[in-house]
């Protein structure tokens, strides 16, 4: 893993949260993007080399909607940038981590993504990200 790519934060109201983070960080978000397959609208803020990704559910059966229902707003996941997502999945499987989606899928911000189950990572949802080429 090369760096923390972003921190994902589940929010109920993306517009209000964009305003809050604009005030907090002293800058506007640089991008909004819908990921239809996940039922989520995302917004990104750049903070140094790391990003903050705000996530708002676009449908009630989405993973973010379920998360908000269970836990309310807050940090949803930590994402790590990897050079070779397939090799990293194999390495982590061999180390005993539970992979939620072994086949990388399209994520926001031009990334291929894979998630690790929180029960194998001390309760933290971990995302692996690789830039799509």
* Alpha carbons 41 and 51: distance in angstroms, whole number: 16
- pLDDT mean across residues, the chain: 96
Residue 130 has pLDDT above 90, yes or no: yes
- Residue 56 pLDDT greater than 90, yes or no: yes
pLDDT confidence of 104, banded at 50, 70, 90? very high
Strand partners, 78: 7, 126
Do the Cβ atoms of 33 and 106 come closer than 8 Å?
no
pLDDT of 32 strictly over 90 = yes
Average pLDDT, integer, range 12-36: 97
Distance CA(120)–CA(109), nearest Å, equals: 26
pLDDT of residue 99: 97
Query: Which domains are delineated in the chain?
Result: 3-131 (3.10.180.10)
* Residue 33 pLDDT exceeds 90: yes
Which DSSP letter does residue 99 get? B
Q: What local confidence, expressed as pLDDT, does residue 73 receive?
A: 97
Residue 74 has pLDDT above 90, yes or no: yes
Report the pLDDT value the prediction gives residue 40, as an integer from 0 to 100.
97
pLDDT at 1 over 90: no
């Amino acid at each position: 893993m090369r760096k923390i790519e972003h921190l994902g934060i589940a929010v109920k109201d993306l517009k209000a949260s964009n305003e809050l983070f604009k005030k907090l960080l002293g800058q506007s978000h640089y991008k909004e993007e819908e990921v239809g397959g996940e039922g989520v609208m995302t917004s990104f803020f750049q903070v140094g080399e790391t990003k903050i990704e705000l996530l708002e559910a676009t449908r009630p059966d989405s993973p973010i909607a379920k998360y908000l229902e269970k836990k309310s707003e807050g940090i949803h996941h930590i994402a790590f940038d990897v050079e070779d997502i397939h090799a990293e999945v194999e390495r982590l499987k061999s180390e005993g981590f539970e992979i939620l989606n072994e086949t990388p899928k399209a994520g926001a911000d031009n990334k291929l993504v894979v998630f690790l189950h929180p029960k194998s990572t001390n309760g933290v949802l971990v995302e692996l990200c690789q830039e799509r080429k």
